Structure 1
């Protein structure tokens, strides 16, 4: 797909991977409608692209709000005249606790943002994508959809749902002008814990970061935009995601146990409380 002069809607555009996807699309000559719940974050994203001018618009929208998302295509068309692609990056994690310790409200919040938010965007924008000569639909899942992470069971379930949804769309949209891509990021150096209102007990996340190499948000964003340009249906970001993908297919039970062993110390600490 040609990136230049196309219009892309990027959720999670106020920080992390979503911000870097938006900036990379702008560098390649696209127009971007950046969507995020955090209005200040969106303003920071726009400030990082001072030469973009009217090629970037910002939209403070809660993607879990179906009515708000259904009104979004009209706002994007008013700003940019057309819609050629959507990139669903926005997502949150849960507190690092076992499922029986996790309140229903937290499970519902994770599902509402990660799964239903993706559904809202896909359903609201697909009719517009199908009208374009070429279009792209990208949903970001997680390596937690490849091999489960203890203490993130609800999050993994939400991202597994995104995986299945995207693969279903790939099947449904074969032969159309819409290329469908599912993305599995491994560990990426973003502030998803803070943005999710979650803390890790005892600073365990920081310790994990010392042991495992993370992909930078800039590199993750570049890889996603490259996938859009090439029409790649499946993208794994980071050596950890590629390793878990292979291990999960070859030895699924062993993969589950391997990750469970690595997460044991984290789960044995005092449960973390959500910040919101």
Structure 2
């Protein structure tokens, strides 16, 4: 089969389409003929040599895909040959075929094309596992997502609104904020022109929001703490702005704040 191979760490030019050994499945996996894959930040990090795949995973990039099942392992009962699916992967989406544990395979949602479904598993599993399963966001609460116009952000807005949550977003332009508002965001904050902590306090009567989903990291850590309500939950997805910071621990104690983090590979345990 053909696959996109990272020939050496570097820029996009190091990616080459090559003939590689055919993928084999074990008894708990299905084999998907790939229709489409998606581009995630982790894929670019892997290409640069900064995010190696987990032990035993495919060496090829691609953390999600859509396609048609062409083979099933003997222990697989839910799926059959010919099913159109999408899947969360530990790697290998940039290939003609990929072997996937049956538990990481999802049906293509009604009304979504097979091609478009390739971009759903990563954001869906990320947001659901972090915001709802681990941070326990529930109807009637308030939620803020930084980078509201990103893949994670746009999905988080829609699912949070569907769950009856008031949604705050930050983004860096009025155009991006307009997209967020169209998707249902209640409070849209331009972080380049406005202090999001002050705006959150204003909109919540000084209380703060209940859950924050953040991938900026260090520069936002104390600001996030200051923006949270009593018993607030801060979930860190990344540290695009830096990984090292100082924090006033007294503020965490005073508000009984929970701080959690996750790596993309750990999402597979929630699939």
Normalising by structure 1, we get a TM-score of 0.39
Higher RCO (CA-CA < 8 Å; seq separation 6+)? 1
- Which structure: greater helix fraction? 1
Q: Which structure has the larger Rg over C-alpha atoms?
A: 2
- Which structure: greater strand fraction? 2
